[in-house]
A = this chain, B = another copy of it.
Amino acid sequence: MDYYIAVDIGGTQLRAALYPEGEQKAVSQKRIPTQTKDQSPVDRLLELIKNIMPSQGKVKAIGMAAPGPINPKTGILYAAPNIPGWVNLPLAQIVQDRFKVPTLLGNDANLAAMGEWKFGAGRGYQHLLYMTVSTGIGGGVIEEGKLLLGYKGLAAEIGHITVDPNGPLCGCGQRGHLEALASGTAIARYVSEQLASGVPSSMAELPAVTARDVSLAAEQGDPLAREALARAGRYLGRAIADFLHLFNPQIVIIGGGVSRSGRYFLDPLRNSIAEYVISPEYLHGLVVTTASLGDDAGLLGALALAQTVE
């Protein structure tokens, strides 16, 4: 039997899964911490892959999803934000040389788009915009049944467009990016600022507010929490309207932890898309929905990438 191996690389944990050819259900899964005292993250990754290798049969390809800017054409990871020392690392080559199996590497948000497209909420569509809203904001675009990569594979960095030139600083150092105004981090920061300025809320008791706390408080009727989610939803909706003008997708899929915040987040988002779009042609037949693969989006995206090797 032939197999594919998918690997999801994060700053906290490494996940790997083994899939028989033609299937999307893993016959084996493993996860280990990315960083330990006695081993480098590369050594841990190689060991994880070694341990997921099937005892019999051939592995046709290994697909790997990793955070940060990556050139999927060369398999080089330019910089992983949360893994010290991973700079200009030829990760696909390292794995391929070790296991003598064709190995492909892609950006995790790009691959989550591919996962949702092949196995999730985007099945059957040929023009798709996926965005993940969690600590940061990333995404991927499928155009005419193909992942939009750009020259070096650095396209679809949809969190890093300026939505308010006077807005707060983004993690990237620029001001007023979408990520700085509508990510989970931005939602939590907005609430913290409002609490500090004396706005009453059930969240005032919490030692530190997270986006998940805000979602829960919104469910329970907290006005500040609802306003914080609506504010992020409005920023995202206006940005999505701009993305409709740029990419003209058939379907917009919202993933990441914040996408599970329900109507206090999604209703303002949908309303803003409709308010800011320049022509109803962009909305006719457009589907706006949440992701369906949850935490497996990266892994299944890596599988979809591996399956491009036949």
On whether the beta carbons of B276 and A150 are closer than 8 Å, the reply is no
On whether the beta carbons of B281 and A78 are closer than 8 Å, the reply is yes
Given A144-B146, A248-B149, check contact A154 B282 (CB 8 Å).
yes
On whether the beta carbons of B151 and A249 are closer than 8 Å, the reply is yes
A162 within 8 A of B: yes
- CB A130 to nearest CB in B, in angstroms, measures 14
Given A238-B165, A281-B78, check contact A160 B248 (CB 8 Å).
no
- Partner of A161 from the list B146, B148, B245, B282 (CB cut-off 8 Å) is B245
A250 within 8 A of B: yes
Bound CA span A21–B174, Å:
50
On whether the beta carbons of A162 and B242 are closer than 8 Å, the reply is yes
Most buried by B among A144, A146, A156, A158: A144
Mark each residue of chain A from 232 to 265: 1 if its CB lies under 8 Å from any CB of chain B, else 0.
Answer: 0000001100100111111000000000000000
Give the number of times this chain occurs in the complex, counting copies.
2
Bound CA span A146–B148, Å:
11
Q: Which B residues are in CB contact (< 8 Å) with A126? A: 151
Bound CA span A155–B282, Å:
9
- CB A243 to nearest CB in B, in angstroms, measures 8
Given A143-B150, A173-B278, check contact A246 B69 (CB 8 Å).
no
- CB A172 to nearest CB in B, in angstroms, measures 4
Bound CA span A248–B154, Å:
6
A163-183 interface with B by 8 A CB criterion: 163-165, 172-174
Bound CA span A247–B153, Å:
9
On whether the beta carbons of B152 and A246 are closer than 8 Å, the reply is no
- Partner of A242 from the list B143, B154, B161 (CB cut-off 8 Å) is B161
On whether the beta carbons of B149 and A245 are closer than 8 Å, the reply is no
Bound CA span A155–B172, Å:
27
Q: Which B residues are in CB contact (< 8 Å) with A281? A: 69, 78, 152, 154
- CB A60 to nearest CB in B, in angstroms, measures 24
Contacts A152-B281, A172-B278 aside, 10 further interface pairs with beta carbons under 8 A come to A143-B149, A143-B155, A148-B247, A154-B245, A154-B279, A155-B245, A155-B247, A158-B245, A161-B246, A162-B242
On whether the beta carbons of B151 and A248 are closer than 8 Å, the reply is yes
Contact sample, A vs B, 8 pairs, CB 8 Å cutoff = A69-B281, A144-B146, A150-B247, A151-B248, A160-B242, A161-B242, A164-B164, A173-B278
A270 within 8 A of B: no
Instruction: Give the 5 A-B residue pairs with the shortest CB-CB distance, closest first.
Output: A150-B248, A157-B245, A155-B248, A127-B151, A161-B242
Bound CA span A78–B144, Å:
21
